[in-house]
Chains A and B, each alone.
Chain A
Amino acid sequence: MKRSRLPAVITCGVILFLFAPLGVLVVNSFNASRFGGEWEGFTWNWYEKLWAAGEVWDSLWITLKIAVSASLAAMLLGTLAAYALHRFRSWLQDVHHMLITLPLVMPDILMGMSLLALFVLTGVETGLLTIWIAHVTFCLSFVTMVVLGRLQDFDFTLLDAARDLGATQAKAVRKVLLPLLLPGVLAGGLLAFTLSIDDYVITFFVSGPGTTTLPLRVASMMKTSRSLPVINALSTLLIASTFLFAALSSRLQRRA
């Protein structure tokens, strides 16, 4: 029987729709024209301008510090959470599961708003620490979900085998479970890292003076038309790194 071509056509259309705007950004980052309406010749000019924009690199440094530390914390908390959710069946885990899922569907603005309310009411000054807390909070659920997916494939009789062969519970976890779980934990960490680097809305609510992360910097650059082509160049670099991370992460998740 002949299959309809329509789903394939729509899929191609959707993927084109998803990538066309990004493609235009990439092309325009090499376009001498300021607004990119027409091709006015190849240039590295915008990349040179980006290289010279010191404040962008300062922001990148702040962003990386937050992303690395927040994803490490989220990896630790998320892996424990996933283990608990997978191993135990109880009312506690039902509550736990609900708490882990809710942030995934909470609109960013509400998460930003509620954390801001917390920090204002408790008198905590907004800054690096508050951004870090916010990032750990929204990354935690994502890491948990990725690790949980990995745990569902894990053969727990391997732990029993290790115990039968004389390993203590702690040793079995360390020598058998953790190495097999590691790719999942790393994939979760990578996801957390990308989410942290990209976050604008929540960060905007809980940032303070001197903590302009990269997305906050991009937002303020968008307000001045002089820096628009420089954003194209920056976007191209960011899109390229997203490609790299996504490919790496899917590699990690696939390898058994």
Chain B
Amino acid sequence: MSTRLRPARQWLITLPSLAWLGVFFVIPAFLVILTAFRPADLQGGVGPGWTLTTLKEVQDPAYLPILWRTFWLSGATTLICLALALPVAFQMARSGQRMRQVLLLLVVIPFLSNFLIRIFAWKSLLHPEGPLTKLLIALHLIPENAVLLNHAGTVLLVLVYTQLPFAILPLYAAAEKFDFGLLDAARDLGAGPLSAFSKVFVPGVRRGILSAAVMVFVCCLGQYVIPQMVGGTGDEMLGSKIAQRVFSDRNLPHASALAGGLMLAVLLPMLVVVLWQQFGRKEAE
């Protein structure tokens, strides 16, 4: 069928979105990397000429703990999200048509609710005068003067909360295509429910696991609103520094250098996924 359509037609149909993304996605990404080599000016813009000073500034050892924290928080969030999302995806895929729709809607609604509001909800829930703190104190689970907010743990909790739907949706998409007959076969052959789950189901949805992991990990790497709102002063992530450089210090080149580094850190795992998926497609053919 597509042979009937002339190549000019393909270009005509492709061009609007291609041009839009070229101008507002690809070029800006390169501009960020270029800006890292420009001097800063005091108005928060970019001065004339080229320089390597920003690149030297960014190699400040003070960034190391922040970098480390960004990576472990993102890694831990990814693991927790996968651990919770796998059984949920499994359950959703095994449910009947109607139940599936309901569960899907229940997962999507928090994901579509305003991001700030979800963080705000946790902030008021964990507030020293908030309901959760009072409940836990009443149950003697935490000491009277315990503060639930402003820890690295709070940041982790809210990260998991906001990223969980990002893990469930790709896993569900993979689980939906999984042949549950294999699971019953494993059970018939004497496997327990847990080993059937881990040895048959988990390998069966490994591509879904990979895309869920990358999705969550990458989204976490760039977070700054969560540490800013529920974390303490010592819980900053790389994103917090980027935002600080842009909005407090008004130093665009410095922010660009940090963002450029983050961009490379994001694109590399994604490249792995794209290659893996292409490999998988060839394998399937």
Contact = CB atoms under 8 A, between A and B. Distances in A.
Asked if A pairs with B, the answer is yes
Interface string B22-57: 101111110110010000000011100000000000
Interface string B74-115: 000000000011011011101000000101111111101111
A209 interface: no
Contacts of B221: 107
A84 B13 contact: yes
Interface residues of B, number: 94
A29 to B, nearest CB: 11
Contacts of B11: 92
A50 interface: no
The 4 closest A-B pairs by CB, nearest first: A107-B222, A114-B28, A21-B121, A81-B17
B87 A218 contact: no
A3 B193 CA distance: 7
B2 A88 contact: yes
Interface in A194-221: 194-195, 197-198, 200-201, 205, 215, 218-219
A4 interface: yes
A21 B13 contact: no
A161 interface: no
14 contacts: A1-B188, A3-B193, A11-B88, A21-B161, A81-B17, A92-B14, A99-B21, A110-B29, A110-B262, A114-B259, A121-B35, A121-B46, A198-B114, A245-B112
A9 to B, nearest CB: 9
B238 to A, nearest CB: 9
Interface stretch (B59-67, B139-147, B211-219): B211-219
Majority SS at the chain A contact face: helix
For B1, B24, B161, B274, the residue with the greatest tally of chain A CB atoms inside 10 Å of its CB is B24
B184 interface: yes
Contacts of A195: 112
On chain A, which size bracket covers the interface? Answer: 35 or more
Given A18-B106, A36-B130, A215-B116, 4 more contacts: A1-B187, A77-B20, A105-B219, A111-B25
A38 interface: yes
B262 A205 contact: no
Given A21-B121, A87-B5, A136 B10 contact: no
A137 B115 CA distance: 19
Contact of B21 (A108, A116, A137): A137
